[in-house]
Amino acid sequence: MGSQWGRDGYYRKARTEGYRSRAAYKLLDIQKRFQVIRRDDVVIDLGCAPGSWLQVLRGLTDEQVIGIDLNPVPPVEGAVILTGDFTTEYIREKVGAMITEVNVIVCDAAPNFSGNKSFDQARSVGLSEEACDFAVDFLKPGGNFVVKTFHGDMFHLILDKMRRNFYGVKVYRSEAARKGSTEVYIIGKKFKGRRNDSEG
């Protein structure tokens, strides 16, 4: 693993430019192509560890940035970080007490993989759907949502869910993704509002 990371240009670039992981360039790539975040947007980052997306977000918006992760994340200047499960009522209540409107939600989270391809893909899609549920509950109408998932037999489930809730939906593979990975991002723009979510 160490040799693979050592040869990775994005990994070396992240170390040079002060980002905590190469994933920073995935968000920068998405922002360059889709302009999902504006200077006056309040943004929530689901599954924010190790914090590289928070670092990028702090450079993209002047408004509040909140990160949520199951594990403690070292502080990122200018960001509020909550430790906990974003699917729980406890975290949802904490978020609701902090902000009244959310413009953008991003999620680069992935489950711990077991090596069983179909099982792992199901877990990945399930996590993406939970992130979408969170977005449906907190985004203001017209807001944007970016979520990572993986191609496979169940991919259509999260794609269909996104299309029910956003006027514009694009599937994008970042140039910063590792070769051979089935990782993609679904970008949802212009949230329709909760009344359009057929699953409630």
Element (H, E) at 10: helix 9-17
Which residue, among 101, 112, 114, 124, has the nearest Cα to 185 in the 3D structure? 124
- Asked if residues 31 and 60 have their Cβ atoms less than 8 Å apart, the reply is yes
CA of residue 89 relative to chain centroid, distance? 20
Catalytic residue at 148?
A: yes
Select which of 13, 26, 117, 148 is catalytic.
148
**45, two tokens:** 């980052």
**Residues 189, 172: Cα–Cα separation, whole Å:** 13
Residue with tokens 């990160």: 67
Paired residues of 150 in beta bridges: 183
Cβ atoms of 48 and 69 closer than 8 Å: yes
Residue positions annotated with a catalytic role:
148
